[in-house]
A = this chain, B = another copy of it.
């Protein structure tokens, strides 16, 4: 049992708002005033819950990673073959984009040079977790003959992450969320995964 972070309701609400702002505008382009305004409390009160913006940022990443890992665990339980698992994986990204957000850690990786060290490390851990999960899924899929791709699984995993993060940026730039879908379909096809069959994403 990993230690559970006990967080007040207000702290959670602060994180919810900050998360959305960071996912849409980036970490440097929102302020305590933005959060305070949305939450109808003062800036000073925010500092009681998160003494500095850097600490808020660290917590933001930690929580995002935890929730992402929960989604991955859900895929491991629910889905059958490796193809279905990968389709479920890209569906996570699609759902984020469809809610008018970008990947938090994709945005933060663009802000990389301006972030405090602890936040940079958190972002890396997020991508490490993604890569590890993908490598495992790819290895299993290939061993079971469900996937066919050349080269080391870790390279395929990194290509998948890079393509999805880049495709999200481009999809928003063009105001066409469907661009993420067509790019991820094209990507999965290279791995021997059949195109998404209007798969309903449960939960």
Contact = CB atoms under 8 A, between A and B. Distances in A.
B166 A114 contact: no
Given A114-B25, A158-B179, A109 B186 contact: no
A127 interface: yes
Interface string A122-153: 01100100000000000000000000001100
Interface residues of A, number: 43
A127 B189 contact: no
A170 B110 contact: no
Interface of A: 24-26, 28-29, 102, 106-107, 109-114, 120, 123-124, 127, 150-151, 155-156, 158-159, 161-167, 169-170, 172-174, 179, 182-183, 186-187, 189-190
Given A159-B163, A190-B190, 16 more contacts: A24-B113, A26-B114, A28-B29, A123-B173, A124-B173, A127-B170, A150-B189, A155-B183, A158-B167, A158-B179, A162-B165, A162-B166, A162-B167, A162-B170, A165-B166, A166-B169
